[in-house]
């Protein structure tokens, strides 16, 4: 047992993190374009103005994907590149760019997977209240319609939102991400509700205007939970912890069920409805119906997890990480078990074919004296995580894995200080170089994980 014959091995990026060309050919501004201008927001004063210059170098990037053997490429469309104001008039040059990228991918036998929203909220929409304005549901729907009309003759795989936990939680609660606001809790629940409705509306529009049968999904995130032992009570404790609400209200967005139960089960979790009752907007049956518009696949971005056991009091408790626990360059814990238990628990609850839409690590990568980029930590990380995923693949309907990221890129508020790529980018020269892990991943793809 292992990965199915048609398992999809991919890599992922997002528009602002790689494209650059922020002022070119009619692109409008989005919240990150504006946010990076203010000193103090981004490490080292960095910005995505040039990023990986993918806008001009996408052909080279596609050829690198082909060399690695990548079967599918998950990328996002910059909403403000195709609709500079977020609604209304279309920027045809933006459409031409994505058309050319899609054609180049297909020519090279790489399947495009489009994410509609990976945080590039058009500034004009932000000015009108952004996620707080209920009109965003229709604006996002119209944007989805445009994407379906223009690209779905060639593209059949779509994800609506990437990590709403982050664009609401980091953008509007902690203020670490654009637009950098610390909003009242009440507002953030309203934004979350509108975002979920926007997701539902986009699903409808993709279906209505799709030129063929489309596979539509959703790509939230969250830390996973895994049991300390395989004793039934520990497994149950980990399951409960995974779907529980966050006990810290200012961090409420970090949970799975508030974001996924409505989409896949048609209701918000009871625990959350009780806990957050004072902050909730009006929620109607009609809203819930829209949010639960059926999707085909479920995507989850998984980077790590927490170890859980059943406490003596019959309540799940977190097992403290040991001193000196393994961590990545960005200090995220290395917990391969997250890629077995996470998918398994998610599948048990939601019963949807699953993709891992992101997973990977940042390392302190450098070009060595021999001119190559050796990243044994990344290969080790991937070997451990993918082995766990392989176990899950034997038990659930798992469709694919997208490595984050294809190449080093602009890591949001951390600027270029974190390198997540299989491909090294020299930002001074824009030279790309495959890291050792890219060659290793090539073998994984070729053997469909037999070498794990």
Write down the least CB distance from residue 103 to ligand FCB, Å: 25
Write down the catalytic residue from 19, 85, 104, 163.
163
- Does the annotation count 163 as an active-site position? yes
DSSP 56-114: HHHHHHHHHHHHHT--EEEEE--HHHHSTTSSSS--HHHHHHHHHHHHHHHHTT-EEEE
91 vs 362, beta carbon nearer ligand FCB: 362
- Taking the C-alpha atoms of residue 379 and residue 91, their distance in angstroms, rounded to an integer, is 41
Nearer to ligand FCB, 315 or 332 (CB): 332
Smallest gap from Cβ 312 to ligand FCB, in A, equals 35
Contacts of 305 (CB under 8 A, 6+ apart): 223, 224, 225, 226, 335, 337, 338, 341, 342
Query: Which of 408, 428, 410, 411 lies closest to 419 in space, CA to CA?
Result: 408
> Between residues 388 and 408, which has the closer beta carbon with respect to ligand FCB?
408
CB of 330 to ligand FCB, least distance (A): 8
Q: Taking the complex as a whole, how short is the minimal distance between the CB of residue 385 and ligand FCB, in angstroms?
A: 14
* DSSP string for 116-133: EESS--BHHHHHTTGGGS
Among candidate residues 201, 34, 40, 41, the one with its CA nearest the CA of residue 121: 34
8 A C-beta contact, residue 49 and residue 17? no
First vs last Cα of the chain: how many Å apart?
12
Give 247's contacts (C-beta < 8 A, 6+ positions apart): none
Residue carrying the six token digits 């209240």: 129
Taking the least distance from each CB to ligand FCB, the nearer of 91 and 357 is: 357
Question: Which residues, 6 or more positions from 43, have their beta carbon under 8 angstroms from its beta carbon?
Answer: 413, 414, 415, 417
Q: Residue 357 Cβ, how far from ligand FCB at the closest point, in Å?
A: 9
Nearer to ligand FCB, 252 or 420 (CB): 420
Please state the closest distance from residue 328 (CB atom) to ligand FCB, in A: 10
Among residues 85, 293, 358, 411, the one annotated as catalytic is: 358
Select from 220, 227, 302 the least CA-distant residue to 258: 220
Least distance in angstroms from the C-beta of 364 to ligand FCB: 15
Question: Considering beta carbons, is residue 53 or 358 the nearer one to ligand FCB?
Answer: 358
Least Å distance between CB 169 and ligand FCB?
11
Token code pair at residue 328: 């990545």
Chain-centroid distance of CA 428 in Å reads 27
Min separation Cβ 419 and ligand FCB, Å: 11
d(Cα 377, Cα 328) in Å, to the nearest integer?
Answer: 8
Q: Dump the DSSP string for 158-208.
A: EEEEE-HHHHHHHHHTS--STT-----HHHHHHHHHHHHHHHHHHHHHHHH
Q: Catalytic annotation on 60? A: no
Footprint of ligand FCB on this chain (CB under 6 A)?
14, 17, 162-163, 166, 221, 301, 358, 404, 411-412, 420
Q: Which is nearer to ligand FCB, 210 or 415 (CB)?
A: 415
Handedness of CA 17, 18, 23, 27 (dihedral sign): negative
Q: Which residues pair with 221 in a beta bridge?
A: 301
Q: Which of 329, 340, 266 is nearest to 302 (CA)?
A: 340
Closer CB to ligand FCB, 17 or 253, in the complex = 17
Nearest-CA neighbor of 381 among 423, 440, 324?
A: 440
**Could you give the CA distance from residue 142 to residue 405 in angstroms, rounded to a whole number?**
29
Which CB, 91 or 300, lies closer to ligand FCB? 300
Active-site residue list: 163, 358
């Amino acid at each position: 047992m292992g990965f199915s014959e048609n398992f999809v091995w991919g890599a992922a990026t997002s528009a602002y993190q790689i494209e650059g060309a922020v002022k070119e050919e009619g692109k409008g501004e989005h919240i990150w374009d504006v946010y990076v201008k203010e000193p103090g927001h981004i490490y080292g004063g960095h910005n995505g103005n040039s990023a990986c210059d993918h806008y001009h170098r996408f052909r080279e990037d596609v050829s690198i994907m082909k060399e690695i053997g990548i079967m599918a490429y998950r990328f996002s469309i910059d909403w403000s590149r195709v609709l500079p104001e977020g609604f209304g008039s279309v920027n045809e040059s933006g459409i031409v760019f994505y058309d050319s990228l899609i054609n180049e991918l297909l020519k090279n036998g790489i399947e495009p997977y489009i994410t509609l929203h990976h945080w590039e909220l058009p500034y004009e929409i932000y000015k009108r209240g952004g996620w707080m304005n209920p009109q965003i549901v229709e604006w996002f729907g119209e944007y989805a319609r445009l994407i379906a009309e223009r690209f779905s003759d060639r593209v059949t795989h779509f994800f609506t939102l990437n990590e709403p936990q982050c664009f609401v939680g980091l953008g509007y609660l902690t203020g670490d991400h654009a637009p950098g606001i610390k909003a009242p809790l009440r507002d953030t629940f309203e934004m979350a509700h509108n975002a979920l409705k926007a997701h539902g509306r986009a699903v409808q529009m993709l279906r209505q205007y799709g030129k063929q049968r489309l596979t539509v999904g959703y790509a939230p995130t969250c830390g996973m939970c895994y049991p300390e032992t395989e004793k039934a009570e520990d497994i149950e404790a980990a399951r409960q912890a995974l779907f529980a609400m966050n006990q810290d209200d200012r961090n409420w967005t970090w949970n799975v069920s508030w974001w996924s139960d409505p989409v896949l089960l048609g209701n918000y979790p009871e625990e959350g409805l009780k806990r957050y009752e004072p902050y909730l907007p009006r929620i109607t049956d009609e809203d819930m119906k829209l949010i639960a518009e059926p999707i085909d696949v479920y995507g989850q971005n998984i980077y790590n997890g927490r170890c859980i056991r059943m406490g003596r009091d019959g309540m799940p408790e977190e097992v403290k990480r040991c001193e000196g626990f393994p961590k990545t360059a960005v200090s995220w814990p290395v917990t391969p078990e997250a890629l077995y238990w996470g998918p398994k628990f998610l599948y048990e609850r939601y019963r949807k074919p699953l993709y891992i839409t992101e997973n990977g690590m940042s390392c302190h990568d450098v070009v060595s004296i021999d001119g190559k980029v050796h990243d044994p930590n990344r290969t080790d990380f991937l070997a451990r995580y993918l082995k766990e995923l392989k176990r899950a693949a034997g038990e659930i309907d798992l469709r694919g894995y997208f490595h984050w990221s294809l190449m080093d890129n602009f890591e949001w508020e951390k600027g270029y200080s974190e390198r997540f790529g299989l491909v090294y980018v020299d930002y001074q020269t824009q030279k790309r170089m495959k890291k050792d892990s890219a060659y290793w991943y090539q073998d994984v793809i070729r053997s469909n994980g037999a070498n794990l």
